[in-house]
Amino acid sequence: MRTRTGDTLLALLKAAQHLTSLHARDALLRAFCVGALRALHATRCDLYVLGAGLGRRRAVRIGWSHGEGAGGDWDDAVDDKAIASDDPWLALATDANAGWLRKRDADGWRLVFQVRHGGRVKWILDVQSPTAIAAVTADGVRAYIHCFERLMAHWDYANLDTLTGLLNRKTFDEQFDQLIAVAERARRQDGERREEKDPPSPAWLGIVDIDHFKNINDTWGHLFGDEVLIRLADCMRGAFRGSDKLFRFGGEEFVVMLRNVPADTVASIFERFRALVETHDFPQVGTVTCSIGFAQVDDRLPPAELLGRADSALYYGKEHGRNCTWAYEDLVAAGELVTTTATSSAQQDADQYF
């Protein structure tokens, strides 16, 4: 006859097995949190990430799973409202030698687990449970976490650029399809809710190219050229949201996918990144600049035209002084560019433009 502890351990094992069937990074993060909630019969699980530039003990909530509904639902934190947590209990958990902490509060028990990545604590799993869990169950949770850590390491190896840590070119097709799906949903919702005060915001595709990168390699050597790429990738992570998709396509070309960004603010987002690069002190090289072209994602257009629009805006900037940011739609409205159409696969588009 199984005990409550035995049932929990079995549920953790099944949750770990489910994780191995997933391939998308976001899906792994969500399923990891939901699996813990269901197995532990918790009332709520929050997942935090220790963000770059936030300090070793500062954490930002990615999302949470709650016990309402059928087995727990996941809610993403809103990127533009996400702030670093000042909860001292979370800060203490990042240094816990045992890898987890627990305490009793007015609503039951709170258990906080470290989740490591790349040799350091990367995430914090915060569990709220109405009842205490046995030590053997805590060991089971840690084994479940270890499974997740290994899967995330394998995901990084397969999907990240080895030099910059950004998404690699291989993952572009899958992420592009998801961006198109988001744009289609937003367009349909906009059509159904035209009288709402806050209609869905559009998605955007941007292309970033380092200015005179060949001269950097020729003057300072490829080691310093690689350092420029690494530093620029760090600037990208600092300028864009955690949910934005950042790619390195090889060489000095980078791609940015944004979703749910109002048309009146998207230019300032790209411009903020451009200015951040311009003011960054690159070792030995000094000042480095980049040119950016971007376009709104329309799911009714073929991939070739979407990439081509951002590419056209980029090269307009290259031909008009570099170190600038241009929107395709603005250039068309001003008569500087003419709308063209084309059809091909997303991978063919990537091969053509990069």
| Burial degree of 351 (CB within 10 A; 0-12, 13-18, 19+) | exposed
Q: How far apart are the first and last CA of the chain?
A: 61
Closest CA to 326 of 312, 342, 305, 341: 312
Yes or no: say if 192 and 184 are a contact pair by the CB < 8 Å rule.
Answer: no
Q: Of these residues, 149, 227, 252, 305, which one is catalytic?
A: 252
Q: Which of 142, 96, 143 is nearest to 121 (CA)?
A: 96
319 is catalytic: no
Say whether 167 sits in a helix, a strand or coil.
Answer: strand
335: left (phi over 0), alpha (psi -120 to 50) or beta: left
At 42 the three-state DSSP class reads coil
Which residues does the annotation mark as catalytic?
A: 252
